[in-house]
Amino acid sequence: MTSVVKSSNLGYPRLGEHREWKKLLESYWQGKINEKQFSETSKSLRLENLKKQIEFGIDIIPVADNSNYDHVLDTTAAFNLIPTRFGNYKRPLTLDEYYAVARGDKDNVAADMTKWFNINYHYTVPEFDNTEPRLLENRWLKYWQEAKNELGIDGKPVIVGPVTLIKLGKLNGEYVESEKDINQLLDQILPLYGQVFEELQNAGVKWVQLDEPTLVKTEKDDDIKPYYRATKYLHEVAPKLNIELQTYFDSIDPYQKVVKLPVQAIGLDFVHGKGENLNNIRQFGFPDDKILVAGLIDGHNIWVANLQEKASLAEELHTFAPKLWLQPSNSLLHVPITKKFETKASPELFGGLAFADEKLQELVSLTKKLNGNDVSAEFIKNADDIKALNDSQARNNKNVQEAIKHLSKEHFERHSKYSERSKKQQDNLHLPLLPTTTIGSFPQSSEVRAKRAAWRKGDLSDKQYNDFIASETKRWIQLQEDIDLDVLVHGEFERTDMVEYFGQKLAGFFATQNGWVQSYGSRGVRPPVIFGDVAYTEPITVKESAFAQAQTSKPVKGMLTAPLTIINWSFVRDDISRATVQNQIALALRQEVINLEKAGIKIIQVDEPALREGLPLKQRNWQNYLDEAIYSFKITTTGVRDETQIHTHMCYSDFEDIISTISGLDADVISIETSRSHGEIISAFEDAQYDKQIGLGVYDIHSPRIPSVKEITDNIRRGLKVIDHKQFWVNPDCGLKTRNEEQTLEALKNLEEARNIVLAEL
């Protein structure tokens, strides 16, 4: 008899349907609620998320996937693996102590933060130097017991695996990679995991989800050794506790070794990874003694699954693996919660959307189908919804499609080499040595947000809102002049988000009403939905940039977001290639760049912060991705005169591997984040002989602390050891949108003073 197929989930979004979780965190940070009130509200949000999954009919429900900030930080806090500068604890951290690690405090910079694999979520980077690991709190048992006692759920605790935790962290300022370092750290932390697993087993927990996504970056059989050591140890410590070893975001290369690890279930991603997991199963089969946990529903995009295709795939997998669970490809943390609030979506678009709740319902339908239940009505509606979207006018713009066909005939390059045009630019701009500037955005104050909300509700007329934006822009131009910055920005007060704003102005995009996704901490973003062919319909930033430039004799940068970042920070249609969508965006933005130049803007910044973070997880797929990035950037930027200076910005990046790509973009000036990585990114440029201009971010904007003049001065001097002073710009490491006005102005005054000190030394 064929075994029953079950539905499973890996994790549920934290934000809440109306961002209740975000508001909770910020209320606590602002002192509006105390720790007890925080605890009570966070519990009700956790239970509400679990109730939903019960109601949908999910068989295996994750617990302890909740967080007060970030799941990696939760793990390091539970094991006392926090930076020693914050203290060494023998009890669970208080909320204030926990948030000091994440956000910094008056005495300490925050822990490093970087992207979670190649998607737009940030995790808190563990620092393993001089720690005294000990189990401070078994949070996984705590939340399993809560779900059991409150809702009767026999849940599946979710824990970041020990090898992934180590590889995501740093030792002596470098990411942990060597076998020796991995094993030494396993010596320290495996006993703590063992203690957690033993306590879970003794409490009656049946399953634990051990997330080891770094497995998708392994290449050779020998790379599996630390995972084998960890799973063998944990199985021996808690032999009655079943382990679901979970991977996601790509395929497994040493497949035959991984499926032999001493665990009871293995989770594989069948959405991403170019079909390689499926090919491995077809070639090598799957062990009879293990459960295959098949990630069939895309966990980081928002389109309905083709249920008939997914059912056929699941049925094929079932022939190789009689014990089968169906689940999303990865945690649903990375998609919005529900589409039910998207009342402005057209019928064909609405029918094509599937957020977290809809994805869980798709899973249940698939599971029922494989178990022999009649779900024909759901499958028919699903097919109709997909056809309606693909047949829509938005996906059949003949002009855009023709332009894309003819791209190969164009040669996108600047008129002159950098060495020639840089002289023209200096004659045009008259900038001093070590010019100071910011990255683009200024604080989105409560007043700015309130005015925008009132305008959207219709309580403020277009004229009233535009007048307010103009007055705020004018005020900040004056503030920048008072500080004496050399290159100014208009502040982006009209923009909620650097990608969402462009999505609202280009054809082929849809701006969701409630499609919020966590980026880091309480920071939520609403990625635009690219659902149709992308076209330029009207100027996007020209009016605001030209107005700002009219207020000052100093140059004001035009500010755009580049095609690849728009792609990486959007939900992208999946019926055509990403490269095609990217080039559609590039052609549209090219027209905007030309229009900015015509309006008298002499410096245009085309930000590409997501270039490095979006690299495929497997290096063999890098070159194609990077070539496509360069091509789309050049489509965007090469239509201007030599005198117009093109800037770009990148953040959260290890640049060693992509220096040639950075140079290949042929931007005149690049600014990059270096502050949180304590300057080690600078070393990437030591041997590269980078010949263009560069701003190494000299202070961290993600922390509320104000950097001292000495701190910034030291960072400038450190950069000048590698970069020639004629190439060097001085700027913060990212936009200042999330800081308040006082923090911003004090930090920028210190930045200007630090620059002047170093300039005097030169």
Establish whether 472 is an annotated binding residue.
no
Token code pair at residue 504: 């609202």
Establish whether 440 is an annotated binding residue.
yes
Inter-residue contact 67 to 47 (CB < 8 Å): no
Establish whether 439 is an annotated binding residue.
yes
What distance in Å separates the CA atoms of residue 648 and residue 646, rounded to the nearest whole number?
7
Establish whether 60 is an annotated binding residue.
no
Establish whether 675 is an annotated binding residue.
no
Distances (CA, A) of 454 to 27, 540, 688: 22, 22, 50
Among residues 71, 318, 647, 702, the one annotated as catalytic is 702
Inter-residue contact 135 to 79 (CB < 8 Å): yes
Token code pair at residue 290: 């293990």
Amino acid at 441: S
β-pair type (170-171, 174-175): antiparallel
Establish whether 494 is an annotated binding residue.
no
Establish whether 20 is an annotated binding residue.
yes
Establish whether 212 is an annotated binding residue.
no
Establish whether 649 is an annotated binding residue.
yes
Instruction: Tell me which residue has tokens 């030591």.
Output: 686
Inter-residue contact 198 to 191 (CB < 8 Å): no
Instruction: With CA atoms as reference, report the closest residue to 345 among 300, 285, 385.
Output: 385
Establish whether 761 is an annotated binding residue.
no
Amino acid at 538: E
Establish whether 613 is an annotated binding residue.
yes
For 24-46, b where at least 16 C-beta lie within 10 A, e where not — what string? Answer: bbeebbeeeeeeeebeebbeebb
How many Cα atoms within 13 Å fall on the side-chain side of residue 674? Answer: 24
- Asked if 702 is an active-site residue, the reply is yes
Establish whether 74 is an annotated binding residue.
no
Inter-residue contact 8 to 14 (CB < 8 Å): no
Token code pair at residue 739: 């800081």
Q: Which SS3 state, helix, strand or coil, does residue 325 take? A: strand
For 55-70, b where at least 16 C-beta lie within 10 A, e where not — what string? Answer: ebebbbbbbbbbbbbb
DSSP string, 104-139: --SSSPPPPEEESTTSS-EEEPPB-TT--------H
Inter-residue contact 68 to 95 (CB < 8 Å): yes
Inter-residue contact 332 to 358 (CB < 8 Å): no
Distances (CA, A) of 135 to 87, 193, 195, 473: 15, 8, 8, 51
The H or E element that residue 55 is part of is helix 35-56
Please report the sign of the dihedral spanned by the C-alpha atoms of residue 668, residue 695, residue 584, residue 456. negative
Establish whether 653 is an annotated binding residue.
no
What interhelical angle do 179-203 and 225-237 show, nearest 10?
20
How many Cα atoms within 13 Å fall on the side-chain side of residue 734? Answer: 19
Instruction: With CA atoms as reference, report the closest residue to 397 among 569, 588, 636, 526.
Output: 588
E strand intervals along 289-404: 291-297, 324-328
Q: Binding-site residues for Zn(2+), please?
A: 649, 651, 673, 734
Residues noted as catalytic: 702
Q: Binding-site residues for L-homocysteine, please?
A: 439-441, 492, 607
Q: Binding-site residues, please?
A: 19-22, 115, 120, 439-441, 492, 569, 607, 613, 649, 651, 673, 734
Q: Binding-site residues for L-methionine, please?
A: 439-441, 492, 607
